[in-house]
Amino acid sequence: MFERTRGTYVVNSSSIRDVGPRERADFWTDHVSSVHCRMDLRFPHGDSFRAGTIRQQTDTYQLAKCWSDKLGYLRTPQQVRQHPDEDYRFVIMLSGRAVHRQDGEEAEMVPGTAGLIPVNGSYQTLYDRYEGLSMTIPAHEVDSRLNRKSPVTAGLDLGSGLGRVVGDMVTSLHEARDTLTTSQFDAVSDRIVELLCMLVAGDDRPDAPEHLAEVEAVVRRHVREHAGDPGLNGEAMARALGWSLRQIQLALQCAGTTPRELIREERLRLIRERLQNPAYQHVTITDLAYASGFSSPSALSTAFRKRFGISPREMRHEGDAGTADAQRPHG
């Protein structure tokens, strides 16, 4: 076994050839469980079995290149209960073939394809002399982007388009393993997960320009109608509209904005209207700030001045002066 450490970023490798024939099955079962999750292994070739791993790891992500002869993975309900694991495994097939069975479904993975697999459930995977890359991704990194838990997603095409970009990034991350720092490994992994979730979402989000424009229009209307709600944010919009957060982000990205920027803009417009409206004269600027989701009056003042070139108090005084002029008799 070989190991290199850079801060909290660790690279190590292990091969079954370093273990005596009689100990290989037990050794590799324990090793695979430490790399992935607790499971049983089936070894058709017994003592002649060959396998190895190269693992990159930080406190957040793990990327492991794995290869082996024919091999079966079995994660039982008892192992799920005793050794829960909420994380996902993003598995890329480089050579060989695999059949994955989970939740009554069966999926095949071959070179040029990949799968996103939740492991906090029982499953069986049969590998036929394979080589692949397996990335461990914290569940919240996937669920927050998809606005839901992802089921088993196999057969992702890595041969073209976004799939090819994702596959190339994972491969490059593995190839550059000896020169990366902790922050670099995590930063690239973050970007991979973001693009992977776009790939997994697929038809779950619109990608035609007219559909994106429709989503943008609905989102803008929703924000205008609820700008005064201090609890309004991207996640709340997604729940209310029945879309994924990523879907909303994509539509607004094409329009040159983000959920946070759009909400702030509509809140500033709403506050400006209320400052100019005599009906709201009795409402203090502090109350307007908190009621509109700003953390403090000073945060509102800073954002308001940056947007309109004037402070909320000055805006109100201008409105008061205009009202007074209008009421003063002329002649």
Q: Give me the DSSP letters along 21-86.
A: GGGHHHHHHHHHHHHS-S-EEE-TTGGG--EEEEEEE-SS-EEEEEEESSEEEEE-HHHHHHS---
Residues 145 and 216 in one domain: no
Residues 191 and 218 in one domain: no
For the stretch 244-279, what's the b/e string if a residue is b when 16 or more beta carbons lie within 10 angstroms of its beta carbon? bbbbbbbbbeeeebebeebbbbbbbebbbebbeeee
Residue 139 confidence (pLDDT) above 50: yes
Residues 188 and 320 in one domain: no
Residues 284 and 312 in one domain: yes
Q: CA-based angle 216:219:220, to the nearest 5?
A: 85
CATH classification at residue 163: 2.60.120.10
Who contacts 248 (Cβ-Cβ below 8 Å, separation ≥6)? 215, 219, 234, 237, 238, 241, 259
Residues 187 and 261 in one domain: no
pLDDT digits 0-9 by tens, 149-194: 777 788 888 988 888 999 999 999 999 999 999 999 999 999 999 8
pLDDT digits 0-9 by tens, 108-118: 889 999 989 88
Domain hosting 271: range is 209-327
Residues 170 and 44 in one domain: yes
SS3 assignment, position 120: coil
pLDDT digits 0-9 by tens, 236-250: 888 887 777 777 888
| Eight-class DSSP state of 205 | S
Residues 172 and 27 in one domain: yes
CATH classification at residue 293: 1.10.10.60
- Counting the structural domains of the chain, the total is 2
pLDDT more than 70, % of the chain: 89
Residue 7 confidence (pLDDT) above 80: no
Residues 242 and 289 in one domain: yes
Residues 140 and 88 in one domain: yes
Residues 190 and 222 in one domain: no
Q: Which of 186, 202, 218 is the last residue of a domain?
A: 202
Determine the pLDDT at residue 208. Answer: 47
Determine the pLDDT at residue 326. Answer: 45
Q: Which of 151, 178, 202 is the last residue of a domain?
A: 202
